[in-house]
A and B are shown apart, each in its own frame.
Chain A
Amino acid sequence: MVTPSTTNPYQGPLKGDNPFAQITDNVSRIMEAPKPPLAWYIALGFALMLLGIFGASLGYVVWEGIGAWGHIHPVAWGFPIVNFVFWVGIGHAGTLISAVLFLFRQNWRTAINRFAEAMTIFAVVCAAVFPGVHIGRPWLPYWMFPIPNQMGMWPQFRSPLEWDVFAVGTYATVSILFWYMGMIPDFATFRDRSVSTVRRFVYGLLAMGWRGSSRQWHRYERAYLLLAALATPLVLSVHSVVSFDFATSQLPGWHTTIFPPYFVAGAIFGGFAMVVVLAVPARQFFGLKKIITMKHLELMAKVILATGMIVGYAYAMEMFIAWYSGAMYEQFAFLNRAFGNFAWAYWTMIFCNVLSPQVFWFKKMRTNVWVIFVVGIIVNVGMWFERFVIICTSLTRDFLPANWGAFIPSPIDYATLAGSFGLFFTLFLLFCRYLPMVAMAEVKAFIPEGHIHDH
């Protein structure tokens, strides 16, 4: 038992005389405590400040036009699209943990899947903002959808950008359904422990009258399995479609068949790094060290190492294929990446994504929270730079030297990038406080006491 602390309401001894009750208490007291710890308020204040910057800078972009961002011919896809691909990628680890690891019967996922799923949804929200504003007239995003209109026109369904609308839209919808369905039993727990009427009403509404009937659990588990089986090919399709935005174009450096698997691996890599960055402080401040153990962090470090190597392989293979193709423009595009105008960004990416995860070969490093946390941040920086390198080096140096140009981000670019983290962390901090951060029912089902022992 942890010694009681006057400053943090989440560090005291757990109530309950059996492991089930202790799990319930450990997760529920986060929501039930009259006041969260000071760290939560500081983090929320900082996140709200960034969110304010996000709102102000986006408002300026909407008012002034998207020229307020630094993109200029030939770089029409500057930071907004870099940020879009970055955030969509972050989301993918959540689905991987909740769906793919579920299908592979990796039961350790139960401790982290709920907030990884929440991370998915918040990341997709952040991602959706960027193309939504980047279309130039953000009050007309519904033009992307097939809505009957007086002109008798329909969208071009053979365009990868239209595929994106459907892929990201479906992904956001299915992620929310999956997330909500997973929370129904935990909302019921919150409802049944509630002391105030308001809380009982709100969580009761969300729980929809769940009472834990085994006949219901039977259908629930089947639905969960089906959703996992649907979400798994979906998550692979989403980042493949995002990569098609680039791969189906003719631009050297984009026109590459390795893009779909390379983007998916990169997304999982970056997403897992974000999960550890969120998990390390969350387990610390919310007293979840018994649920999110060092074993979980170590397993995630291993996933980061493995996917990091896949990404490194993809970088090498891109270079090899550029040389092997014998195509002059292709060869130039990749030499230019490594030694040209944005060489510093390329080598930052190599350092962050290929070299830094190599420390996880050592168990000592995999079990040190500080190392995991720092590498997680470095990998996120690297994955942002990966998208920057792909988009900006390729666009600034295409076929015709007369069409070359320079890309200099504007202050608004930096403000919206930083601001999007504000939106993400605000949503995440509110989630931690008010929603079940750990899937209690699932965790209980996988402890030894939760099994039938006479057969």
Chain B
Amino acid sequence: MSDTPKAATPEAPAPLYGVLAEYDDPTTLARAARKVRDAGYTRWDTYTPFPIHGMDKAMGIRMTKLPWIVLVAALIGMTVGTVFQYWTNAVNYRWLVSGKPFWSWPANVPIIFEMTILFSAFAALGGMLVLNNLPLPAHPLDLKERFRRVTDDKFFLFILVRDPKFDDRETRELLAATSPTVLDDVHEDRSSSDQVPKGLVYALLIAGAASLVPFALFAKARESKMSHGRIHVVWDMDFTPSYKPQSDNPLFDDQRGMRLPPAGSVPVGHLRVDDHMYQGKIGQAFASTLPQGIVADESTMKLGKAQFGIYCAPCHGQSGEGNGPINQRAETLKQGWVPPSNLHQQYLRDQAAGEIFRTITHGIRNMPGYASQIDPEERWAIVLYVRALQKSRTAQVSDLTDAERAQLK
């Protein structure tokens, strides 16, 4: 038994802190640990370079409560993730996305999951450190040069004096019987204290106070009046440099602010491949029939009449004789005026329906085209109504059906 305290200073030996036994391999250490455990010691520990499987049992270490801490943190993370998303997106700042409900929880699951993991991970590391009483800058064992090999290749068993079962003679005998390579006394550490250095405390206090200064300045700025305007840190965020229509834009090759649609693109509903419908033509000739989709019936006729009244009658007159109010006014002004055509002229009666459609669409002489104002379907309805007006001047009784003739009598 080599029990002479060598580390203590000769003039004033520090009080004994514990007894340290050193071993070369895990098996001997585990045997020793079982003996110490069975002897009823409580304030003792083994120190090893790596976790040894079976050492928990050999020492009688009870299962840590760390998993429960992590479970609680996981539940907190899950709750925070759920409640925070609900409050922000469904209550405080409601995001309307494609008419979906404000709270459609499956889409919130990924972030709830990530928050659960994040909180748990911090609890696992933080809980381990707190339960292990780390960080621990100084320890009496650090005084032993030999103990440095605990993180390399040596195994130690250490019993504290504070243990109720500790006995100066018996404890040493117990450890000596476990065949340690070295048995040594460890004395309390007088060179370092548990107190945090005063300088560090002051430095932290000053740093903490200094860190509040920017916030104090913010608070002051919020509460005081200023002669200058708001400070724009990111100028182009506050004043977006957008390009206006008709202005030039150096970013594009053609220097134009307004952009043309991509070559060959067709807006929805503007694909007009049916020449009969949109040009009034079948092949090269004007069509004399109504296109597919336009039916000569009561409702089309009414639509044609209404549109004729709006767009045509001001010049051509309600009955189509070319004497509308605009024409009458122009005649009185006598400033030179190409009068609107009388729609009952023979050459207009002889025109194909498609040609009348063309005239409405593109205009003729000083009549403008109406393509931008009247839909193609409505233009065909006007053509139908013009045909009816023309017919009204030349219709014979023989054109009527027997039933209609009977009605006339």
Identify the A interface with B (CB < 8 A).
Answer: 16, 18, 20-21, 24, 137, 139-140, 146, 152-158, 162-163, 166-167, 169-170, 173-174, 177-178, 180-181, 185, 188-189, 191-193, 204, 208-223, 226-227, 230-231, 233-234, 237, 241, 244, 400-403, 440-442, 444-445, 449-455
Q: A18-B153, A146-B84 are in contact. Are A177 and B125 (CB under 8 A)?
A: yes
B26 to A214, Cβ gap below 8 A? no
Nearest 6 A-B pairs (CB), nearest first? A209-B136, A20-B153, A208-B135, A223-B128, A154-B88, A402-B265
Q: With A and B bound together, what is the CA distance between A163 and B114 in angstroms?
A: 9
B6 within 8 A of A: no
Q: With A and B bound together, what is the CA distance between A444 and B150 in angstroms?
A: 13
A223 to B124, Cβ gap below 8 A? yes
Q: With A and B bound together, what is the CA distance between A441 and B51 in angstroms?
A: 7
Contact of B148 among A192, A214, A218, A445 (CB under 8 A): A192
Q: A188-B151, A192-B152, A218-B61 are in contact. Are A226 and B120 (CB under 8 A)?
A: yes
A243 to chain B, nearest CB (A): 12
A20 to B49, Cβ gap below 8 A? yes
Q: With A and B bound together, what is the CA distance between A157 and B88 in angstroms?
A: 9
B311 within 8 A of A: no
B368 within 8 A of A: no
B contact residues around A173 at 8 Å (CB): 118, 121
A226 to B124, Cβ gap below 8 A? yes
B contact residues around A211 at 8 Å (CB): 47, 136, 139, 141, 147, 150-151
Q: A158-B104, A214-B48 are in contact. Are A167 and B122 (CB under 8 A)?
A: no
B61 to A215, Cβ gap below 8 A? yes
Residues of B164-197 whose CB lies within 8 A of A: none
Q: Could you list 9 further interchain pairs (A-B, Cβ under 8 angstroms) beyond the known A217-B50, A441-B50?
A: A24-B151, A158-B89, A169-B114, A185-B50, A191-B151, A213-B45, A215-B132, A220-B128, A227-B121
Q: With A and B bound together, what is the CA distance between A223 and B51 in angstroms?
A: 13
Q: A158-B89, A209-B135, A214-B56 are in contact. Are A223 and B66 (CB under 8 A)?
A: yes
Q: With A and B bound together, what is the CA distance between A422 and B46 in angstroms?
A: 45
B54 to chain A, nearest CB (A): 5
Q: With A and B bound together, what is the CA distance between A402 and B97 in angstroms?
A: 28
Q: A218-B61, A450-B26 are in contact. Are A189 and B114 (CB under 8 A)?
A: no
Q: With A and B bound together, what is the CA distance between A20 and B150 in angstroms?
A: 11
B125 to A227, Cβ gap below 8 A? yes
Of all chain A residues, which has the CB nearest B51? Answer: A217
Q: With A and B bound together, what is the CA distance between A65 and B45 in angstroms?
A: 61
A211 to chain B, nearest CB (A): 6
B contact residues around A215 at 8 Å (CB): 45, 59, 61, 132
Q: With A and B bound together, what is the CA distance between A210 and B137 in angstroms?
A: 9
B contact residues around A20 at 8 Å (CB): 49, 152-153
Contact of B118 among A170, A218, A244 (CB under 8 A): A170
Q: With A and B bound together, what is the CA distance between A231 and B125 in angstroms?
A: 13
A174 to B117, Cβ gap below 8 A? yes
B contact residues around A241 at 8 Å (CB): 110
Task: Count chain B CB atoms within 10 A of each CB in A230, A241, A445, A452 and give the residue with the most.
Answer: A452
Interface size class of chain B, counting residues whose CB lies under 8 Å from the partner chain:
35 or more
Contact of A452 among B24, B30, B45, B117 (CB under 8 A): B30
A158 to chain B, nearest CB (A): 4
B264 within 8 A of A: yes
Q: With A and B bound together, what is the CA distance between A211 and B147 in angstroms?
A: 9
A contact residues around B262 at 8 Å (CB): 402-403
B248 to chain A, nearest CB (A): 19
A214 to B47, Cβ gap below 8 A? yes
B128 to A181, Cβ gap below 8 A? yes
Q: With A and B bound together, what is the CA distance between A86 and B55 in angstroms?
A: 43
A166 to B125, Cβ gap below 8 A? no
Q: With A and B bound together, what is the CA distance between A210 and B110 in angstroms?
A: 36
B349 within 8 A of A: no
A98 to chain B, nearest CB (A): 13
Residues of B97-152 whose CB lies within 8 A of A: 97, 104, 107-108, 110-111, 113-115, 117-118, 120-122, 124-125, 127-129, 131-132, 134-139, 141, 147-152
Q: A170-B114, A173-B121, A211-B47 are in contact. Are A451 and B26 (CB under 8 A)?
A: yes
A158 to B125, Cβ gap below 8 A? no
A32 to chain B, nearest CB (A): 13
B52 to A214, Cβ gap below 8 A? yes
Of all chain A residues, which has the CB nearest B33? Answer: A214
Task: Count chain B CB atoms within 10 A of each CB in A237, A401, A444 and give the residue with the most.
Answer: A444
B260 within 8 A of A: no
A214 to B45, Cβ gap below 8 A? yes
A contact residues around B151 at 8 Å (CB): 24, 185, 188-189, 191-193, 210-212
A209 to B150, Cβ gap below 8 A? no
Q: With A and B bound together, what is the CA distance between A454 and B150 in angstroms?
A: 22
Q: With A and B bound together, what is the CA distance between A223 and B129 in angstroms?
A: 10
A170 to B117, Cβ gap below 8 A? yes
Contact of B120 among A16, A213, A230, A449 (CB under 8 A): A230
Of all chain A residues, which has the CB nearest B265? Answer: A402
A357 to chain B, nearest CB (A): 31
A230 to B121, Cβ gap below 8 A? yes
B128 to A208, Cβ gap below 8 A? no
Q: With A and B bound together, what is the CA distance between A189 and B49 in angstroms?
A: 8
B289 within 8 A of A: no
Q: With A and B bound together, what is the CA distance between A438 and B30 in angstroms?
A: 26
A contact residues around B54 at 8 Å (CB): 451-452, 455
Of all chain B residues, which has the CB nearest A405? Answer: B262
Task: Count chain B CB atoms within 10 A of each CB in A16, A154, A156, A181 and give the residue with the most.
Answer: A154
B336 to chain A, nearest CB (A): 48
Query: Could you give 22 example pairs across A and B, Cβ below 8 Å?
Result: A24-B153, A154-B93, A157-B85, A157-B88, A157-B89, A157-B111, A166-B115, A169-B114, A208-B135, A209-B137, A211-B141, A211-B147, A212-B150, A214-B56, A215-B61, A217-B51, A230-B124, A241-B110, A402-B266, A449-B26, A450-B26, A452-B53
B152 to A21, Cβ gap below 8 A? yes
B35 within 8 A of A: no
Q: With A and B bound together, what is the CA distance between A146 and B95 in angstroms?
A: 14
Q: A181-B128, A214-B59 are in contact. Are A450 and B50 (CB under 8 A)?
A: yes
